Chains A and B, each alone.
Chain A
C-alpha cells in the first residue's frame, strides 16, 4: 500500500483515500514532508527511524482496573446505532449491529442488535419462572435455578429480524451496511433443548402447536409448530459463554434456529401447548407479508439465504489502489451456505469466493475474495449466496416481480455497493 516511489505520477493517484489525509498532515508539516513520501506522512515518524511510543516505556493499566473488559478506546465508535425516524418510541424500537467493523462470524454480546416491543425488561432471576401449560400431562413451573440443573447443548446460530433490509424494498435508502443489514447477529447459545422440557410436561397426542410468551411489558407471544419445537429449539441461558445480556432476554430466551428473530421470545415466561395457531398480533398484524394483489403471506418463518459484503462498504471506503480485503457474511435459515459468488460489475460476471470455516447450518458464514486488488476504477460490488437446498439469493428486481414493494419483511436481495474512483462506497440500486 505504501509503495515508496519517486515517480509522483504514480504516487498521487495511487492513494486517493489516504492522500487527502496525507495532504492534511503535509500541510501542517510543510512541503518537505510531502517530498519525503507517504511513509513519513502516514505514520508520523522521524526522518530516519520510528518513534518509541509512550506505552513502550511506561507501565500500563493494572489488573482489575476494568473488572469487566471493554474494547480499546480507539474502537469506541463501534456501537449499535439506531434510526430516529423509524419508530414511535425508543422502547418499542430497534438498533443495528455494526457489521462493518467485525470479522469472523461471531458477534460480540454487547453489540448484538436489539429489538424490543416494550423496552428491555430487567428481570430478577430469583423471581422469574418458566411455566409450561395447556395440552400437557402435567403443567410445570421451573425457576431459573431449576433450568440451570438440566442437561444443556451449545450451538452457534444466527438471529435475524424478519424486517432486516425492510427499509430497502422500494429503493436504496440507508447508506451503510450497519443499517441495511445490521438486524442480524450470530452467537453461541447454550441452554436446555426445548424438546426436553416439553417431554417433562408430557405433550398430549393431539397437540400440534406451542405458544411462547415473554415476561416483558409487551408480553410478546408467537405460535410455533410442534415439529419445529421438537426439532432444534433451545431454551437458552447463555450466549457466547456468559449469561444472556438483559437486552437479549436475560435470564431465559428461546432460540428458534433459522426462523425470524421475532419468534425467539426473550424473558421467556410461558409456553402453552395447544392444537392450533394462536394468531397473535405479531403473526397477523405484523410479520405477515403483504403482496401486490392485496393478499398476505402468513407464517413466513424461515430466513432465506442471503449475503452482504462488509468490507468495503459505505462505512469502510477503500484506502487505496492495490491489495485490499474483500469480505462479507452469508447465511441461510434453511440450511448451510454452500457457495458465495462476488461480482465487480453489478452482476454481469461472477467469481467464486472462499468460505472461511467453520461453515455451519443456520449460522453466519464468513467469506473472502482472496487476492483481490482494486485498480482504482468504479466498481459495482455484489455478493450472491447459495445454500444446500439449492436456493440462490435473488436480485431485488426478481423479488419485486413476485412480492412488490410493500411486504416489509424477508428482503434477502443481493446488495450493490458502488465504489467511486475516490474509494468511497455508496449503497445503490441497480435497475
Chain B
C-alpha cells in the first residue's frame, strides 16, 4: 500500500516537474482548439489581483463615483450603503466582527481593495454586468473606500495605486488550520456524557417553509395571522417626515400615481395592498391585499418598520416577499414623521 502511495506521489511529482520545465513542450493534441489572440484575451481578461496586476487603464474619485452609485447601486444597497432587504451592506460595521451579529462590510471585513474593482467590473450592477466603463468602476471603488473612511474624497483611484491601498481588516485573515474540534483519546462507544438536555427545537422555532416535505407538521402557532402590534399612531412632524422620505424617493413618486421602481403613492391611504394600477407586485403583496390588508396609518407604519416581516405576518409565515428592497426604518419617530408627511403629500 505504502509503495503504491509512494509511486503515485512520485508520478504526481514527475508531472509537476514535467509541466514546470516544459516551457517549450509540444502540444499532445495540437489539432484541438487554437491559440487565443491578444485581442480575444484582452476582451475577456477582466480580473484584477491584490497587487494591482490586471488593473486596466482609468481612474476615478469618490465624488465621481457617488454620481454613479446613486443612479446604479443605491436602489439595492441603499443611499448610504446600508443595504436593503437582504442586499449586502457595503459601509460601516467597524468593530463588530466579535459581536453577536457581526456586520461584514467592505470597510469592516474585506482584506483587499482590488476585490472591489474586480467584483463590480465582473458582476455589477446586478443583472447588467460588465456595463460600467473602467472610470466608472474606479470611481465606485473610490466612493466605497471613501464612505468607509479608508481614503479621502479627493483621492484618485487608478491602475497605479489600486494594489497599494491598505484595508483595515487585512491582517485578520489566516490560512485554514483544520482539522479541528477532534475528540481526545479513545472514541467513546458506551455511556458517553451525562443526561440528555434538549436546548433547541426547529419545530418550535417554526421558520421551515410549510411545503417542506410531505409530512412536515407546521405547529398551530403559525396557522392564524398575528394581530398587528402597532396601536393607534400618534401624529408626527410632516416637515421632518419629508427628509425621512429621501430614503424612499429613489423608487416612489409621492404626489403622482405613476410607477417607478416602486408603485406611485398618490392616494395611498385607504388603498388595498397590491392593487395599484399597472404595477407588478410580488405574489405575497397581492395575497396580503386579497386577505384584506389596506394601507392606513397603522398598517403603513408597521410595514415600513419591517417590510418582509410585517407582510409575512399577514400571510402567517415568518417573512414574505415584497419587491421593496428596503430593510425598514428603525426609529419610531422617523416612522411617525414619515406617516405625517405621506398623509399630506399623497392627498388626491
Contact = CB atoms under 8 A, between A and B. Distances in A.
Contacts of B22: 137, 199, 202
Contacts of A279: 49-50, 111-112, 114-115
A18 B319 CA distance: 34
A87 B86 contact: yes
A125 to B, nearest CB: 15
A85 B111 contact: no
A176 B208 contact: yes
Contact of A137 (B24, B29, B197): B24
Contact of B198 (A83, A389, A424, A430): A430
A264 interface: no
A288 B110 CA distance: 10
A375 interface: no
Given A142-B33, A175-B208, A175-B212, A230 B203 contact: no
B20 interface: yes
Given A142-B32, A392-B187, A399-B181, A217 B102 contact: no
Contacts of A428: 198, 200-202
What does DSSP make chain A's interface, helix, strand, loop or mixed? loop
A413 to B, nearest CB: 9
Given A299-B176, A427-B202, A133 B36 contact: yes
B215 interface: yes
B177 A284 contact: no
B47 A221 contact: yes
Contact of B123 (A81, A117, A274, A288): A117
A186 interface: no
Interface string B104-125: 1010011110110011001100
Contacts of B53: 274
Which of A149, A199, A231, A424 has the largest count of B CB atoms less than 10 A from its CB? A199
B33 A146 contact: yes
A304 B190 CA distance: 25
Nearest to A389: B179
Interface string B153-183: 0000000000000000000111111111111
Given A84-B321, A176-B208, A137 B201 contact: no
A428 B192 CA distance: 19
A396 to B, nearest CB: 9
Contacts of B177: 297
Contact of A430 (B97, B176, B199, B216): B199
Contacts of B123: 117-118, 217-219, 281
Contacts of A138: 27, 35
A17 to B, nearest CB: 9
B316 to A, nearest CB: 13
A143 B33 contact: yes
A117 B126 CA distance: 9
Contacts of B312: 85
Contacts of B175: 297-299
Interface string B20-57: 11111101110011111000110011110111010000
B98 A131 contact: no
Contacts of B50: 276-279
Interface string B308-330: 10001000011111000100000
Interface in B179-217: 179-183, 187-193, 196-203, 205-209, 211-217
Interface stretch (A28-36, A55-63, A323-331, A341-349): A341-349
Interface in A88-145: 88-89, 91-92, 98, 100, 117-118, 131-133, 137-143
B229 to A, nearest CB: 19
Nearest to A117: B123
A14 interface: no
A403 interface: yes
A297 B207 CA distance: 30
A269 B24 CA distance: 25
A202 B20 CA distance: 8
Interface stretch (A166-174, A244-252, A361-369): A166-174
Nearest to B31: A149
Interface stretch (B11-19, B254-262, B268-276, B332-340): B11-19
Given A85-B318, A173-B205, A426-B202, A272 B47 contact: yes
Contacts of A314: 202-203, 212-213, 215-216
B85 interface: yes
A172 B205 contact: yes
18 contacts: A84-B317, A118-B129, A141-B33, A141-B36, A171-B205, A172-B205, A202-B25, A230-B15, A279-B115, A284-B112, A285-B109, A296-B109, A296-B174, A391-B182, A418-B198, A428-B200, A428-B202, A429-B199
Given A100-B213, A175-B212, A427-B202, 16 more contacts: A88-B87, A118-B127, A133-B36, A133-B45, A137-B24, A149-B32, A200-B27, A230-B16, A276-B49, A281-B118, A298-B174, A316-B215, A391-B182, A428-B198, A429-B198, A431-B199
